Each structure stands twice: as C-alpha cells, then as structure tokens.
C-alpha cells in the first residue's frame, strides 16, 4: 500500500538537508511543507528553551475517529557529525554516503517512513488508529528533545519509535544510564623547581582508573570511561583532572552497588593523599541520563506489530538492547513505546548504510499496525 518510490525520494531529500544536533529547523520546514496539502494540524512545543535547538519538537496529528485508539510515532530530526553536505549514493540493495560524511539513516529513515504513512492514510482514506507524530530534536546529544518534550500535547498511551537496525528487532527492554564525573583536585607545583610539593591529579586519576572495572561487567551491565581532561601546563604538576564515565544496566540495584563501591574506593584514595596535603580532594557527581524500559510482551502495540509483520511474511521478535533511545523518555512519561528497526546499519560512521528491503518492510509493518481492522 505504501508508495516505495515516493518514500525513497523523501529519504534522499531529507538526508541532503543539513541537520546536525541543534540545527534542525530546515528539516522541520521540509516536513511542514510536505504535509501542507493535507491540512493536518501540528504544533511545536517550547522545548528549544531547554535543548538549545533552533526549534522545538514537532507534533503532527492525523486523526481518523474519536472512537479509535491513538498511537504516537516518533523519529528524530538531528544527526551526528560529520553530517554536513551528505551525498547519498544508491546501490542495488542499499544506500550509502560518499564516505566523507555519515548517511543520516539515523534517523531520517524513520522520518521518511512516518511521512509516507501519514501521506498514504491521508490519500487513501483507509480506517486507521489516530496518529500523533512526535518528531524530536537533539536526540544525538542525550535524548534532549524527548527529555523536554511537552507530553501534555500527546494523548497516546502506546507508541513506536523508529530508530533501530533491522525491523526483525523490536526493542521492548533497555537499560538505565547514568553519567558520572570524578574530579581529582591535586596540588599544583612547579615541575622543575619543587615538584615534591605537588600532588599530581593525573597520576592519582590513573590510580583511580585502575580500580574501576570497565566494559561488560555483567550480561546486562556496562561501564565506560569516555573522557579524561586535566592539567594546565607541561611544566606544572597538574592540579585538576576530570574523569568522565557512563554506566548502563537493566538492574537499578547493580548501578547503585557499582557506584557505591567506586565511592568507597575514592574515599580511601582521598584519605591517603590528604595525609600529605589537606588541600587534596576527590569528588564524584552523578547525572541520570535516562531510565530503563521493560514493556510487557502482551502489550497491545507489541501484539499489533508482530501480527502486522506476520501479515507481511516477516518475523519480528521482541528483544532487549544495551542502548537508549527517545522511547526511554516516552515510557517514563506513561506511553508504552517500543523501538522498531528501519534497516540502518553502521550508523554514526562514514560507512553507514540503509538496507532498502528492510526500509520498505519496516514501513509496511508500521502501516499495517495502524490499519483499523
């Protein structure tokens, strides 16, 4: 039922619009212009005040009947870098960039699917569930658009985010994520004249890092030390160093246990160096990035998607992931939201591609999920 040729054209046009995070206005303008002939109501929320984007999140409403359930569809407008001047190249089975940039299938493949579904329902007058399309900003820099979305603008209790790999994967379970920063305040001294009077924050940081287990700690838990920043000059014993880390787990208790152990180790190290100089200090600051999701497999939206996939001779299975997506914030705000793949591969790299067969199949599955049987 969907128009594959039109959907592909939409995707190719979208990826050629520059929209690195916080610069999404041109994509929003494209979307509004594209749906103008259908005279669908839409709103921008006021999230830009908190995200720093040029615009707020865009919500488009495609209603069929007040008696029907309402489902939210969501994708994000922004891309990672390098995402300027993207030149898509069409191959036999996929689309790729010229490898000087990313492709932008993450997540303009999702946008193209949503727009095609809206256009098809608007043209064909087929009975369908009411649709709220929540098109977010700033997903790639901490899910900020979804975090600050005005959920009062939505009536949906179920939803589909289109922001994953293959449509055979329906993400229903995902971890919580915390960022935490360890700040080591050492004692500065001249490295050539009196280094013995200093305490190197970089050297102490190395001691701390050696005590932190990283990588896959358990099957459902990972920890990563992502950035280290410290020192003021080569000839000065460094006074301050920051260690920036992330922990993810499906189990909140595990996150707390690991962070508490790290805090205990930090206290022991701090105590050791305070004996040398009372000005030495170690602090740790934690920030919750997103909460976990765990949608019951008997949830209506899951059952409808699985049935729609079967209708299209495709097998879609509920899975868990170690990543986060806008779905995490939809769930936190009372909307049972799953994440369906669109055919993207190797995203966030210059080798990113979109598998066309899966791209079309994802659209067909979502379309049939929304048809009012």
Active site (catalytic) residues: 78, 139
List CB contacts of 253: < 8 A, sequence separation 6 or more: none
Three-class secondary structure of residue 94 per DSSP: strand
The secondary structure of 116-164 as a DSSP string is HHHHHHHHH---B-EEEEEEES-GGGTSHHHHT--GGG---SEEEEEEE
Three-class secondary structure of residue 353 per DSSP: strand
CA of 269: how far to CAs of 240, 264, 274, in Å?
Answer: 15, 9, 9
Backbone region of residue 188 per phi and psi (left: phi > 0; alpha: psi in -120 to 50; beta: other values):
beta
List CB contacts of 14: < 8 A, sequence separation 6 or more: 27, 30, 104, 108, 111, 112
Phi, psi torsion values for 57, nearest 5 degrees:
-65, 145
List CB contacts of 294: < 8 A, sequence separation 6 or more: 172, 173, 250
């Amino acid at each position: 039922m969907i128009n594959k040729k039109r959907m592909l054209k939409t995707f190719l046009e979208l990826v050629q619009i520059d929209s690195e995070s916080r610069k999404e206005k041109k994509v929003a303008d494209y979307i509004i212009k594209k749906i103008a002939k259908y005279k669908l109501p839409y709103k921008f929320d006021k999230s830009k005040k908190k995200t720093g984007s040029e615009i707020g999140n865009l919500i488009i409403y495609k209603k069929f009947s007040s008696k029907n359930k309402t489902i939210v569809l969501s994708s994000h407008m922004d891309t990672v870098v390098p995402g300027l001047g993207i030149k898509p190249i069409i191959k036999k089975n996929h689309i790729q960039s010229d490898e000087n940039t990313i492709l932008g299938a993450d997540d303009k493949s999702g946008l193209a699917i949503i727009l095609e579904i809206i256009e098809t329902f608007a043209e064909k007058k087929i009975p369908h569930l009411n649709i709220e399309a929540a098109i977010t900003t700033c997903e790639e820099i901490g899910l900020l658009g979804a975090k600050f979305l005005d959920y009062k603008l939505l009536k949906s209790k179920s939803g589909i985010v289109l922001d994953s790999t293959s449509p055979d994967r329906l993400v229903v379970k995902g971890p919580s994520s915390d960022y935490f920063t360890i700040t080591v305040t050492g004692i500065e001294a001249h490295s050539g004249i009196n280094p013995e009077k200093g305490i190197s924050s970089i050297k102490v940081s190395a001691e701390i890092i050696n005590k932190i287990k990283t990588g896959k700690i358990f099957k459902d838990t990972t920890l990563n030390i992502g950035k280290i920043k410290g020192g003021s000059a080569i000839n000065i014993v460094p006074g301050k160093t920051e260690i920036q880390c992330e922990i993810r787990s499906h189990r909140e208790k595990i996150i707390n246990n690991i962070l508490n152990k790290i805090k205990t180790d930090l206290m022991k190290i701090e105590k050791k160096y305070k004996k040398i100089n009372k000005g030495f200090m170690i602090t740790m600051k934690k920030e919750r990035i997103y909460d976990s999701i765990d949608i019951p497999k008997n949830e209506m939206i899951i059952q409808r998607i699985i049935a729609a996939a079967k209708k299209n001779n495709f097998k879609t299975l509920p899975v868990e992931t170690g990543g986060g997506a806008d779905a995490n914030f939809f769930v936190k705000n009372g909307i049972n939201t799953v994440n369906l793949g669109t055919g993207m591969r190797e995203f966030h790299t210059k080798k990113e591609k979109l598998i066309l067969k899966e791209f079309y199949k994802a659209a067909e599955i979502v379309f049939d999920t929304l048809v009012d049987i």
